[in-house]
Amino acid sequence: MTTGKLFILSAPSGAGKTTLLKRVMADLPGLAFSVSHTTRLPRPGEEDGVDYHFVSREQFEEMREQGLFLEWAEVHGNLYGTSRPAVLAQLESGLDVVLDIDVQGAAILRNSAAIAAVSLFITPPSLQELERRLRGRGTDSEETILLRLKNARVEMQAALDYEYLIVNARLEQAIDTLRAIVIAERSRGHRLPTGQPIEMLSEL
């Protein structure tokens, strides 16, 4: 069984990361999303176990003490963590796994020898465009928008630490770029764009 590859994906809130991921995952088979645990409340339309595993702070801290997270971080006053057993099980089944995590968690994984990963950062074309998108969502208070913009300035400074940088100025172009990166990484691992191993090489 071919072991899958781990993809770390980070972006400021409002950069369009979720839209890009959904489109690419619909196009490419063998690509799985790692559902993170969080202590924040669900937003309208979010489902437990689909978008996040929504847990209490006490539950999260218990899992952390048991060493069940590959990484964890506190963002906007809420805790987020990636389940170690769940990700390893997905990779061992041959799936490529996408982690949607913040720059703190990404730095932890990049500096960890425990698991290899490909890192990608998605950025808006400008902070002005990011503010327009955040306000256009109509889901956040003024205080939350200002906090997200403040955090975005810090997060975007970490963009050069990632292997790949995608500017989401034009949605279709950004989707094509993300898809191409996944396919290229699969090719580097002697796999087809579908994620399946290239069997003919073993017959030569």
Edge-to-edge, what's the strand order for the sheet holding 96-100?
31-33, 96-100, 6-10, 118-123, 164-167
- Residue 159 CB-half CA count within 13 A: 17
pTM of the model: 0.86
Nearest to 21 by CA among 171, 192, 143, 190: 171
pLDDT at 133: 85
pLDDT at 130: 84
Nearest to 72 by CA among 49, 43, 48, 39: 39
**115 touches 93 (CB < 8 A):** no
pLDDT digits (tens, 9 = 90+) for 178-203: 999 999 999 998 899 999 888 865 55
28-42, 84-98, 133-147: which has the minimum mean pLDDT?
A: 133-147
Q: How confident is the model at residue 1 (pLDDT cuts 50, 70, 90)?
A: low
Q: Is the pLDDT of residue 76 over 90?
A: no
Q: What is the mean pLDDT of the chain?
A: 90
Nearest to 39 by CA among 60, 70, 17: 60
Give the rounded percent of residues in the chain with a pLDDT score beyond 70.
Answer: 97
3-state secondary structure the chain: CCCCCEEEEECCCCCCHHHHHHHHHHHCCCEEECCCEECCCCCCCCCECCCEEECCHHHHHHHHHCCCEEEEEEECCEEEEEEHHHHHHHHHCCCEEEEECCHHHHHHHHCCCCCCCEEEEEECCCHHHHHHHHHHHCCCCHHHHHHHHHHHHHHHCCHHHCCEEEECCCHHHHHHHHHHHHHHHHHHCCECCCCCECHHHHHC
Q: How confident is the model at residue 118 (pLDDT cuts 50, 70, 90)?
A: very high
Q: Going from the N-terminus, what domains does the chain have, and what CATH number goes with each?
A: 6-35+94-203 (3.40.50.300)
Copy the structure tokens of residue 183: 């396919």
Q: Is the pLDDT of residue 117 over 60?
A: yes
